[in-house]
Structures are given as C-alpha cells and as structure tokens.
Amino acid sequence: MKKLLLGLTLTVGITGLVHAAGDPVAGEQKAAVCAACHGANGVSMVPNWPNLAGQGFNYLVKQTIDIRDGRRAVPEMVGIVDNLSDQDIRDIAAFYRQQPANLGQADPALAERGRDLYRAGDLAKGIPACTACHLPNGGGNGPAAFPAVSGQHPTYAVNQLKAFRNGTRDNDPNAMMRLIAEKMSDAEMEAVASYMYGLHGTNR
C-alpha cells in the first residue's frame, strides 16, 4: 500500500504534460466526426462510450494520441483518428474541455459503498482513495493528465476498470490503474462508478 501511494505521488510530480494550446473554434469543426458516438457537445447518448465534455485537456490529448499511435486499443476508433495531426487533436481537446460536463445521479443502493471507496479506499485490500488522483469532486488532475470522472457513464467506467484489471488497457503511467483495479471486485467497481457518476463538481 505504501509503495503504491508513493508511486501515485511520484507520478503526479513527474508526469505533468505540457502541450501547445489548442484552438477550440477549430476543434469544434474537427470534432464533427466524433459527434456520432460522443454527442455534439461531448455527452454521449450511449453509456458504452465516454463523455468527453469538461474532460481535462492533457488527458484527452494523451488518450487520443495513444489510440492513434496504437498504445491504447479501442476498436471503435479504428480509422477515425488515424489521420489526425497532433494539432488536430489539441484543437479537438480544447473544444471538449470547454463544454459543460455531464450531470449524473448515483444509484442510492450503491452510493454509500461507492463513496467510501472513492474517498477512503480500502486499506485492508490495498486500494487507495480515488481522490488521490481524481480529486474529491471528481474533477481530475489536469497537469498530470489524470481524468475527470464526475458525470462519467457508469457502464463506461466499469468497462475501463475491468480492462485495466485484465490488462487489455495498459497505457496507465507506472501501471497505477492496473495495480488498483486488480484488487477490486465487480461489485466494488460498479459502486464506485455509480458514485462518480453522481459527482457534480462538489465534494459530496
């Protein structure tokens, strides 16, 4: 547990990404192809696909480049981002960063367990609090490219946690999410995902 927390702390300090600024006006036009899955303003109507509205700029840039360059496998994105330049990606990220984040509501049956995991983790299982990287309000850590999780579809969040657990997603710095997810049960993933969905930018 101590080693994992130390790794989280070190990563926050050394993985801050500095990208040239994107142009959100140009990004709105370039994001037109993204709307079919992610919605016109970055809020997806399909829970299997992520909401991008209000997401951190550095995180969006990193993930899109990772997908384009084959470091993160997302079959649905094949052919869509292949020809985007780094500047195109920065422009699209700048557009989505400015959009109002989605507002969700946690399932009351899952909220208490999800809140406990999100805020305090589980010391006995070696699961750190999600707040360490994603902040109490779910807003993420922009400079470190740790994503905003508030208002994210629970289905998508659970799918990503399972992908980290089984290793099919492995583009997390220092394997930090894989080390956490491998300690979580399906029920714990569902609870914390539901709680994150209900975070509205306040410390609930």
For the cut 90, the answer to whether the pLDDT of residue 203 exceeds it is no
Task: Encode pLDDT of 128-179 as tens digits.
Answer: 999 999 999 999 999 999 999 999 999 999 999 999 999 999 999 999 999 9
Query: Which domains occur in the chain, in start order?
Result: 2-12+103-197 (1.10.760.10), 17-97 (1.10.760.10)
Q: pTM for this structure?
A: 0.88
- Average pLDDT score, the chain: 91
Instruction: Name the one residue in this structure whose structure tokens are 């422009």.
Output: 91
Binding residues for heme c: 34, 37-38, 77, 130, 133-134, 177
Task: Encode pLDDT of 9-19 as tens digits.
Answer: 444 443 334 44
pLDDT band at 4 (very low <50, low <70, confident <90, very high): low
pLDDT of 20:
76
pLDDT of 201:
63
Binding residues: 34, 37-38, 77, 130, 133-134, 177
Question: What DSSP string runs through 120-166?
Answer: H-BGGGTBPPTHHHH-TTS--BTTTTBPP-TT--HHHHHHHHHHHHH
